[in-house]
Copies of this chain bind each other. A is one copy, B any other.
Amino acid sequence: MPARIMNAPRTPVRQSSVRAHNLALVLQTVANSADRPSRAGISASTGLTRATVSALVDDLIAGGLLTEHDPAPRTGAGRPAAGLALSAAGPAGLGLEINVDYLAACVVDLTGEVRHRFIARHDQRPLSPGGSLTELGGLASQAISAATADGLAVAGAALAVPGLVTSSGIVRVAPNLDWLDVDAPALLNQVPGLADLPVVVDNEANLAALGELRAGDGEPTFLYVSGEIGIGAGIVLDGELYRGRRGWSGEIGHVTVFPDGRLCRCGANGCLEQYAGQEQVAADADLAAFALGVALAAVVNLLDISVIVLGGAYAPEFARLRPGIEAELTRRVLTASLAPVTLRAATLGPDAAMRGAAGAVIQQLIDDPATFLNSTS
């Protein structure tokens, strides 16, 4: 008798789950609309009845997640619709980032607008993890105060870190910061004013990939590659970040390109990082592009990804890198002749990770409004 693992329901579903799901469905429909949809329009595009949509929208308005606006430009006869949009006065997300040479915090409202932005630019390496996080907590407090002055309530925070993060938010290793097993959420929660703030921690490339997902062209499956001193990647499959078994996916920097090549600080030979890190791009862009092409071809062959986004230090060098990368992709991707691989530069600048972090908080609200509504009412 085979032991079975399954992909699906591990939990029972009751009527309240139906409501929770449909609340999310309505809110997402509004969030993904270019214009301001009416209740009737939402009904048509979701398949829910107008009666149900009305009831759900009432809850979402009462909870401060949606607002009614003036009708969109008229079309013909009939009662004019009330346009619905995410509330700019609703709960906001706090995005935090800690990196080798700066700390950053920003507040993003439900509509995705960056409302406040604070940066402290100096080297973190002399500081202890506690020191860095206390200072970051100060920035966070400032950001929350600024948001409060606007009438915005910060619903949660996400922190981007250049390192391996466990699912419980412990930073296992952050080589460039010299961190080892740092409980970042606990340290942040010690800062006055942040005591009860829910904080999630994630890898910088992962959050930047999420930022790119929200800012991008709607492609739900892509690889985001962040070239800094190290090289990391965020893997987005079907609109969802793939974190791996222990949350350590995307370590493309240590994919082998030349099996007997340069010794890497990780102890292996010929890692991508040794040929396509920030400094190597400056020194020999052709070799960097070749190495990137070899490693990216492996990703495409394995995952059948059709879009690759180059971010971090790669974005400004995109034009120089592109031809070399594409040449190797064409040569080494088995299905290149059947369907092309699209290569593009990231659209968000250096704020990608911080904005992705804030975006993750508000995306969480949009994906599960029921929990938020129940907690506030």
Chain A contacts to B: CB under 8 angstroms? 1-15, 17-18, 21-22, 24-25, 28, 31-32, 34, 46-48, 52, 111-112, 158, 164, 167, 172-173, 200, 202, 210, 213-221, 233, 235-252, 254-259, 266-268, 271, 290, 294-295, 297-299, 301-306, 331-335, 338-339, 359-361, 363-364, 366-367
Chain B residue with minimal CB distance to A223? B302
**B residues less than 8 Å from A290 (CB atoms):** 259
- Contact in complex: B335, A3 (CB < 8 Å): no
- Pairs A–B under 8 Å by Cβ, sample size 6: A2-B202, A6-B240, A9-B28, A252-B302, A256-B332, A268-B331
Chain B residues contacting A244 (CB-CB under 8 Å) are 221, 303-305
Given A3-B200, A6-B31; 6 other pairs, CB 8 A cutoff: A2-B112, A2-B202, A235-B302, A251-B301, A255-B297, A299-B302
- Count the copies: 2
- The answer to whether residues A24 and B8 also contact, given A297-B256, A332-B268, A335-B248 and a CB cut-off of 8 A, is yes
Q: Please report the C-alpha to C-alpha distance between residue A173 and residue B339 in the assembled complex, in whole angstroms.
A: 13
Given the complex of chains A and B, what is the CA–CA distance between A53 and B99 in angstroms? 52
User: A241's contact among B2, B12, B295, by CB below 8 Å, is which?
Assistant: B2
| A-B pairs, 5 with minimum CB distance | A244-B304, A6-B239, A5-B239, A249-B304, A7-B240
Q: How far is the CB of A239 from chain B (nearest CB, A)?
A: 4
Q: How far, in whole Å, are A349 and B10 apart by their CA atoms in the complex?
A: 31
* Contact yes or no, A111 B48, CB < 8 A: no
Shortest CB-to-CB span from A249 to chain B, Å, is: 4
Instruction: Compute how far the CA of A266 lies from the CA of B237 in the bound complex, rounded to whole angstroms.
Output: 26
* Contact for A215 among B2, B219, B294, CB less than 8 A: B2
Alpha-carbon separation in the docked complex, A32 to B10 (Å): 11
Q: Is the CB of B9 within 8 A of A18?
A: no
- Alpha-carbon separation in the docked complex, A251 to B302 (Å): 5
Q: Report the minimum CB–CB distance from A196 to chain B (whole Å).
A: 16
Asked if A200 and B2 make an inter-chain contact with CB atoms under 8 angstroms apart, the answer reads yes
B213, B241, B256, B301: which contacts A254 (Cβ < 8 A)? B301
Taking CB atoms, residues of chain B closer than 8 Å to A267 are 331
- Which residue on B lies nearest to A242, using beta carbons? B237
Closest to A268 in B: B332
